[in-house]
Structure 1
Amino acid sequence: MCSHYEAPLRQLLQSGFPSAAIPGAWDKPDMWPGYVGPFIRRPAEIDSGDEAVPPLEVLAGNFGLIPAWSKDDGMAKRTYNARSETAAEKPAFRDAWRHAQHCIIPAEAIYEPDWRSGKAMPTRIARSDGELMGIAGLYERRPVGDGGWAYSFTMLTLNADVHPIFKELHRPDPTKPADLQDKRMVAILPRRLYDAWLDAPADRSMDFMRQFPADRLFAKSADKT
């Protein structure tokens, strides 16, 4: 599953999401679990009737979802991906799933290991048309300080056993049970479904867990050795 991706810098993010307000700041474009990066959601005031409220907002949050009840910031290194099939049941994700706290995680590219040579070869995967990826995710917030909020997010994943690109990635983990040995991919949304995903109720979330077409992706080795 995806633990490494490229977050777009502000100018590129604004061009990809021109209607979004971008008040937040993030660490760096090279993202790993626990780093701070951008995610996109509906503003909390979207239904207020105030015409000044933008349709989308970009917030900065931890890559790795930290539920409101947790005091463990290190948890982000274990919750950066959520299996869509079980997110409604897992303690870390179930509140965000049940409350349809949907977000979009923008990425220029994601990185996955290709083990076909016998060793992990970093592989960069991006959209072949050069557009940003919009990855379906869940977000959470926790109160901090004097009325502030700390945000975090996770990427949703789905089975990729038959996907032409992702079926070749990752190595089976003998420490995991057989039902967790499937190949996985993040849920990359077509642009036409961005609004629908952000507005979908919890009971429609699985409708968006679809494989992104392989012919609309470009994968190449990122090995620097």
Structure 2
Amino acid sequence: MCTNYRPTSRDLLADLFQLSLFEGGDWPAESWKDYPAPIIRYNGHGQLVCTTATYGLVPRRHIPPGVKPWDTMNARTETVGQLRSYAKCWREGQLCLVPMTGFFEPNYESGAAQRWQIGRADSAPFAVAGIWREWPGENGPEYSFTQLTINADEHPLMQRFHKPGDEKRSLIVIAADEYDDWLRCRDPERARSYFQQFPPELMRAWFDPPPPRKKKAQPAASPQPESTQIDLF
């Protein structure tokens, strides 16, 4: 399942969704668990808004002390209405779009895990189905989100990813002409009609290794005192 992706830039989002309302700060070029990233949703006033939210519906900072952390970056559509982490948001229709230009999955075709990026064949940005949650914060409400996933065992492209023998999963790419219908949907059963595989001929995937990690600077060696030879004779 997706744990790392490239969010769409703020300027491009403003054009794509005709947005004038942004909540929150900036986000990095790649998003990981507990990183900030943009989501598109309708707020309580019926306004379409881009909200900066934490990737993972239950951020680590909200997990009670003594409770083992768990991942909520991806919600399986088969159980989203049952699991405690997601059920309330799903039942209340807190749907969002997660805009991106590509997401990453491990490919084992070489015999070892390699990072591949998956995106649209035309390189256009796209948006996947998600649900969001509000949390109380020191300076007002804070937000988090998860991405919804479906089985992809039979998808010609997405079946190439993850460990051999493991179930294949895929994010749900929402068609651009259905963005508004998805965001306004408040019926959980009707929302399931959007759980469709994206046509493989409209997608592409390529090897995209992560950039090399910067080596930590080594502390300068302390100067050694010059050796002194003592003549004992």
Scaled to the shorter chain, the TM-score interval is: 0.7 to 0.9
SS of the aligned residue for 1:189 comes to coil
Aligned-partner SS, 1:100: coil
Q: Is the 8 A contact 1:33 1:76 kept in 2?
A: no
Is the 1:127–1:217 contact (alpha carbons within 8 Å) kept by the matching residues of 2? yes
Q: Does 1:153 align with 2:130?
A: no
Residue 109 of structure 1: how far off its partner (Å):
0.5
Unaligned ranges ≥5, structure 2? 213-233
Report the count of equivalent residues. Answer: 207
Which protein is bigger by CA-based radius of gyration? Answer: 2
**Is residue 99 from structure 1 mapped to residue 92 from structure 2 by the alignment?**
yes
Contact 1:8 1:106 in 2 (8 A): yes
Aligned to 1:222: 208
* More displaced 10-residue stretch of structure 1: 58-67 or 185-194: 58-67
Distance 1:122 1:192 in 2: 31
Opposite residue 32 of structure 1, the aligned amino acid is W
Any stretches of 5+ residues in structure 1 without a counterpart?
47-53, 174-180
| Aligned-residue offset at 1:124 | 0.8
> Are 1:41 and 2:41 an aligned pair?
yes
CA-CA distance at 1:172 after TM superposition:
4.8
Relative to structure 1, the CA distance from residue 89 to residue 166 in structure 2 (aligned partners, 3 Å threshold; closer, same or farther) is same
Aligned match of 1:28: 28
Q: Aligned letter for 2:183? A: L
Report the identity percentage. Answer: 31
Shift of 1:71: 4.0
* In the alignment, structure 1 residue 203 sits paired with structure 2 residue 189: yes
Q: Tell me the amino acid that sits aligned with residue 44 of structure 1.
A: G
Q: How does 1:34-113 map to 2 (within 5 A)?
A: 34-46=34-46, 54=47, 56-66=48-58, 71-72=63-64, 78-113=71-106
**Deviation digits for residues 144-201 of structure 1, max 9, x if unmatched?**
226x11100000000100111110100157xxxxxxx421000111101111111112
- The answer as to 2:133 corresponding to 1:140 is yes
Aligned-residue Cα RMSD (Å) equals: 2.2
CA distance in 2, matches of 1:214, 1:90: 30
Name the amino acid aligned to 1:158. I
Alpha-carbon distance in structure 1 between the residues aligned to 2:35 and 2:19 = 25
Letter in 2 for 1:212: F
TM-score by length of 1: 0.85
Q: Is the Cα contact below 8 Å between 1:138 and 1:153 reproduced in 2?
A: yes
Write the deviation string for residues 45-68 of structure 1: whole angstroms up to 9, x where unpaired: 01xxxxxxx4x100011000028x
Instruction: Compare 151-160 and 127-136 and name the one that shifted more.
Output: 127-136
